[in-house]
Amino acid sequence: MIKECIKKLSFGEDLNFDLATSAMEDIMSGDATEAQIGAFVTALSVKGETPNEIAGMAGVMRSKSLQVKSDYPLVDTCGTGGDASNSFNISTASAFVVAGAGVKVAKHGNRAMSGSSGSADVLEALGANIDLGPKSVETCLNETGFGFMFAQRFHPSMKFAAGPRKEIGIRTVFNILGPLTNPAQAKFQLIGASHKTIAKKIIEVLKILKSKHSIVAYGEDGLDEISLSGGTHIWELKNGIITERSIKPSDLGLPLVDNAEIKINNPNESAKILEKVLSGQETPARFLVLANAGAALVAAEKAETFIDGVTIATKSIDSGSALKVLKSYIKLSNTLI
C-alpha cells in the first residue's frame, strides 16, 4: 500500500484518511523498506501534509504505542520544537506548575532534535529517571500528579523509521506527530507550534481525533510556546468547535519578555532556570511559565480564562506546590523501573 501512496504523493495528490493509515501501518509494522519510508515522508513533506493524512498516521502511532492507563482526566504540555530559539524548557516547567495546581500531567517528550534541551534532557539533568515503563508512569501520576513518557521507550515501532529520519535530515510529518500521540491518551492539551501553518493543521487534527479541549499556540516571534516578546496566535478546540484569536502579554497581566533572557546552551542551564522558577524567584522565565501554565489550566478546564489560569499558576508556584511535585517526582522516579 505504501508504494501506491508514494505514487499519489509524487503527483501532488492528497491521501485520504484510510490511505494514510495504511501507509503508516506498513511503516510501523516493518513491512516498508527504509527507501520507501524515506520516499514517503519526503514526498509528503514536499506536497504538504493535510490534517486527514496526519490524523490517519497519528491514529496508528497511538495504537502501536505502549499505553498508560488512568481513571482521571490528564493534560499534556508540549511543543513541536524546531523554533531554533534555544529557550529553556518552558512546557516542562509549566507542567509542574499545572500539576501543583491539582491537575495531573502526563508529559510526553523526547530529547532535543534541534534545540539545546528537550524535555527528556532537562528532566534527566534535574536527576529524574526518565526511562520508566507504563506501570511506573502510572505510579508517578497517582502519587505525585506528574508522569513522563519518554517517546523513545513508548513508541518502539518508530524504530523502523529512525534510520530514514536521521539520514533525510529535514523536518517531516514525524515532527508533527509527537505532540499528537500521547501514550496516556490525554484529552486536554496545550501544544506549541513553531510555524503558523503547522499550528492550523494541528488543531484540525485534534478535532478529527476528537480531543476534548485543546489549545495550540504559535508565537509571532516563532516561539513554539505562548510568547511574551509580542503577540501569540491561539487556536482553541472545545466541544468540537475551533476558535481563533491573538493575545499579547498585557492580556495576561504579564510584562514583555525579551527572548534573549530565556536562552540556554545546555540542559543543565535549563534545569537551573526551571528550579529558580519553581522556587518562586522573580525572573523573566517565571512570566513565560505563568503564561503557558495558565493556558494549560484553561485547556484542562481548571480555569475559565487565561487571566484566571495565570492567577492559579501563580498560587501553585508561590505556595510551594509546584516545587513539591518536582521533588517528589524525581525522588519517586528513582525508585522505579
Interval 127-165: pLDDT, tens: 999 999 999 999 999 999 999 999 999 999 999 998 998
H helical segments located in 134-179: 134-144, 151-154, 159-168, 173-177
- The reply to whether CATH 3.40.50.720 applies to domain 75-333 is no
How many residues does the structure list for the chain?
337
pLDDT > 70: percent of the chain: 99
pLDDT of res. 155 = 97
Do the Cβ atoms of 105 and 74 come closer than 8 Å? yes
pLDDT tens-digit map of 213-223: 999 999 999 99
Judged by average pLDDT, the poorest of 104-118, 200-214, 224-238 is 104-118
- Hey, where are the domains in the chain? 2-64, 75-333
Helix 17-29 / helix 34-47 crossing angle, nearest 10 deg: 150
Do the Cβ atoms of 63 and 28 come closer than 8 Å? no
State yes or no: pLDDT of 106 exceeds 80.
yes
State yes or no: pLDDT of 308 exceeds 90.
yes
What CATH fold (topology level) applies to the domain 2-64? 1.20.970
pLDDT of res. 168 = 87
Place of cell 504538504: 48
Q: Tell me the C-alpha distance between 50 and 70, whole Å.
A: 31
pLDDT of res. 132 = 99
Q: Tell me the C-alpha distance between 39 and 2, whole Å.
A: 10
Which of 335, 285, 333 lies closest to 150, judged by CA?
A: 333
pLDDT of res. 112 = 86
Task: List the grid coordinates of 135.
Answer: 506501570
State yes or no: pLDDT of 84 exceeds 80.
no
Between strands 105-109 and 146-150, the pairing is parallel
pLDDT tens-digit map of 248-276: 999 999 999 999 999 999 999 999 999 99
pLDDT > 90: percent of the chain: 92
Q: Tell me the C-alpha distance between 298 and 308, whole Å.
A: 8
State yes or no: pLDDT of 83 exceeds 70.
no
Task: List the grid coordinates of 103.
Answer: 491537575
Residue type at 10 in one-letter notation: S
